[in-house]
Amino acid sequence: MARDQGAALDRKKLLGDPIMVTTIVLLITFLTLFILYPLAILLVDSFVGDGSFGLSVFQRIFQMPDFTRAITNTLKVGFVVGILSTAIGLLFAYVEVYVKMNKAVGGLFKLVSMLPVVSPPFVLSLSMIMLFGKSGLITRFLLGIYDNNVYGYWGIVIVQTLTFFPVCYMMMKGLLKNIDPSLEEASRDMGGSRWRVFADVTLPLLLPGLGNAFLVTFIESIADFANPMLIGGSYDTLATTIYLQITGAYDKAGAAAMAVVLLMITLAMFAVQKYYLEKKTAATLTGKASRARMMIEDKSVKIPLSIFCGLGAAFVVMMYICVPIGALFPTWGYKFTPLTFKWFEQVFTRYRGLQAFRDSFVLSLIAAPITALLSMIISYLVVKRKFKAKGFIEAVSMLAMAVPGTVLGVGYIRGFSGGVFHTGFLQGLYGTGAILVIVFIVRSLPTGTRSGISALRQIDKSIEESAYDMGANSLKVFTTVTLPLIKDSFLSGLVTAFVRSITAISAIILLVTPSYLLITVQINEFAEKGAFSIACAFATILIIITYGSVLLMNFIIKHFGTSRKVKEVE
């Protein structure tokens, strides 16, 4: 009875706030139109693409040897990359949390965790080809090997593992820090060896987290387009097959059906990760550690692990350093001296680099604040408000995390090239910068929303209720009370959205037109042509932009953020 009365009171408050009602309606419209609708159109095309309703399109694509081979290839790569990334990430995290390291190795770890965030998704593929390809600096000129082939299955596996294991490392690091040291020390006091304690105590506590890390990496791997496109060679994956089906075979119905197959795989993995493993992980750990952990100082353990992880981290850093160095060589693979800046000059004088950076920068700069604000509004509605559509808003906003970029691109082509439901409505979006901005927003929305939800759950509701009691409306409360309290999360979401947008490729490569030049598309085109030096020049400038954005965000949060004010008060 009391619960029903409370729900009725919440509905009355909501209906009495026109600003909040309008915000919810607009938000539901946006999410439905730009996330659910393109995916629904893919389903419709898959069942009626050949003129009649049925499974004929699916039957046709499954009869294609290339498509069935692509499914096998994708799953094979995804499982291997997931296992390797999780294992390496766990090792790095264990060494940082449990082993007393010197500052140099710790600094390398921090650098490795940041590099994949601030670099384009295919930078490591570019480095792998330049270092270990047939004209590679290491294979050909240092080792004299001429018949090696870096392209194909192992090329994709190595590059994706190096790209995604930092994500697992950060996830495992947080989980290991939350394990109460007293659990492990009690086992040690009973005579257990370090290996026995790890196997019987630490590992069982981590199993749900390991499963979570594996599934996240698996989803990222099978959805990856840029790396298989660049280093895959003839080893096709689902993402590249969909791209070639729509750009080479011009089979839109077939591409839509292929996209649905890939979407079903990622959605299934995402559902397991989101609704089973995440809850299980939270319930398995004991919470924040009650006291400091005794670090391992035994040289027989410390030295081998520190050397192994240090060399691994140094190798990853070397791969990234290869990109700016590669831009300084006169001709990669043939002439390595003298060093020159001509490729950086040609980026702007010959290859329309100024337009590419301007277009990418402007579109990302437009998308970033909109994404950050939408993320905070969604987070606010999910955490602080009660209404029937709340579950819908949260689920759909997070859905984009499970949708591969290539799938979303095909959905937008099929959904908006002829207007909504082929009525001509919103057809003007197709081929414009506006649709690119919308894709950037949709792709970055889940990350910002998760960050905002975490921040808002730490704010006591009485703070906002006091503002309402003083006569403020919902807009006033959100802008003057809630947003200032979570501005660190807002700034973080803004910069993350900017970085993700300016380095995106899979979702926009099918949508970009000659009217817009985007940096990532330019890098991909030059790399496919073998023009590695100019591709490296583009990539180097892009990395500088993104890394500078992250440093600027950290500076603002450190000197002007909420955490600084809290410290001053204390």
Highest mean pLDDT out of 135-149, 151-165, 419-433: 151-165
pLDDT > 60? residue 283: no
pLDDT > 80? residue 296: no
pLDDT > 70? residue 169: yes
Give me the pLDDT at residue 71, please. Answer: 93
pLDDT band at 36 (very low <50, low <70, confident <90, very high): very high
Of 9-18, 81-90, 219-228, minimum mean pLDDT range: 9-18
- Tens of pLDDT, residue by residue over 190-204, are 776 777 777 777 778
- Tens of pLDDT, residue by residue over 404-463, are 888 999 999 988 988 888 788 888 888 899 999 999 999 999 888 888 887 777 776 777
pLDDT > 50? residue 285: no
Mean pLDDT of 308-317: 85
Share of the chain above pLDDT 70, in %: 88
Contact call for residues 414 and 42 (beta carbons, < 8 A): yes
Amino acid letter, residue 452: G
> Rounded to an integer, what distance in angstroms lies between the CA atom of residue 128 and that of residue 118?
18
- Tens of pLDDT, residue by residue over 494-503, are 888 898 899 9
Q: What's the half-sphere exposure (Cβ side, CA atoms, 13 Å) at 483?
A: 16
Listing DSSP states for 376-434 in one string gives HHHHHHHHH---TTHHHHHHHHHHGGGS-HHHHHHHHHHHHTT-GGGSSTTGGGTTSHH
Which two tokens mark 564? Answer: 């600084």
Give me the pLDDT at residue 12, please. Answer: 62
Which two tokens mark 99? Answer: 């082993």
Mean pLDDT of 246-256: 83
Contact call for residues 88 and 161 (beta carbons, < 8 A): yes
Share of the chain above pLDDT 90, in %: 16
Residue at token pair 């060589």: 329
Contact call for residues 493 and 375 (beta carbons, < 8 A): yes
More confident residue, 402 or 334: 402
Highest mean pLDDT out of 177-191, 270-284, 350-364: 350-364
Give me the pLDDT at residue 69, please. Answer: 93
Which two tokens mark 162? Answer: 């190096």
65: number of Cβ within 10 Å? 7
Of 101-110, 228-237, 545-554, minimum mean pLDDT range: 101-110
Residue 296, helix vs strand vs coil: strand
Buried-state track 410-428, b at ≥16 Cβ within 10 A, e below 16: bbbbbbbeeeeeeeeebee
CA nearest to 216, candidates 91, 443, 402: 402
Give me the pLDDT at residue 367, please. Answer: 94
Task: Count the residues in the chain.
Answer: 570
Contact call for residues 444 and 346 (beta carbons, < 8 A): no
pLDDT band at 564 (very low <50, low <70, confident <90, very high): low
Give me the pLDDT at residue 85, please. Answer: 93
Amino acid letter, residue 519: I
CA nearest to 140, candidates 3, 328, 336: 336
- In degrees and rounded to multiples of 5, residue 335 shows phi and psi of -140, 120
568: number of Cβ within 10 Å? 7
User: What is the pTM assigned to this prediction?
Assistant: 0.85
More confident residue, 370 or 135: 370
Which two tokens mark 125? Answer: 């593929």
pLDDT > 90? residue 366: yes
pLDDT > 80? residue 474: no
> Rounded to an integer, what distance in angstroms lies between the CA atom of residue 223 and that of residue 217?
10
Between the CA of residue 394 and those of 400, 423, 566, what are the distances in Å?
11, 29, 30
Give me the pLDDT at residue 8, please. Answer: 60
pLDDT > 70? residue 546: yes
Mean pLDDT of 323-342: 76
CA nearest to 444, candidates 26, 35, 32, 23: 35
pLDDT band at 207 (very low <50, low <70, confident <90, very high): confident
pLDDT > 80? residue 103: no
- Tens of pLDDT, residue by residue over 48-99, are 766 667 788 888 889 888 899 999 999 999 999 999 999 998 888 888 888 8
pLDDT > 60? residue 562: no
Contact call for residues 259 and 251 (beta carbons, < 8 A): no
What is the residue-averaged pLDDT of the chain? 82
Which two tokens mark 118? Answer: 């601030």
Mean pLDDT of 266-281: 73
- In degrees and rounded to multiples of 5, residue 552 shows phi and psi of -65, -40
Listing DSSP states for 440-495 in one string gives HHHHHHHHHHHHHHHHHTTS-HHHHHHHHHTT--HHHHIIIIIHHHTHHHHHHHHH
Angle among Cα 210, 118, 335 to the nearest 5 degrees reads: 115
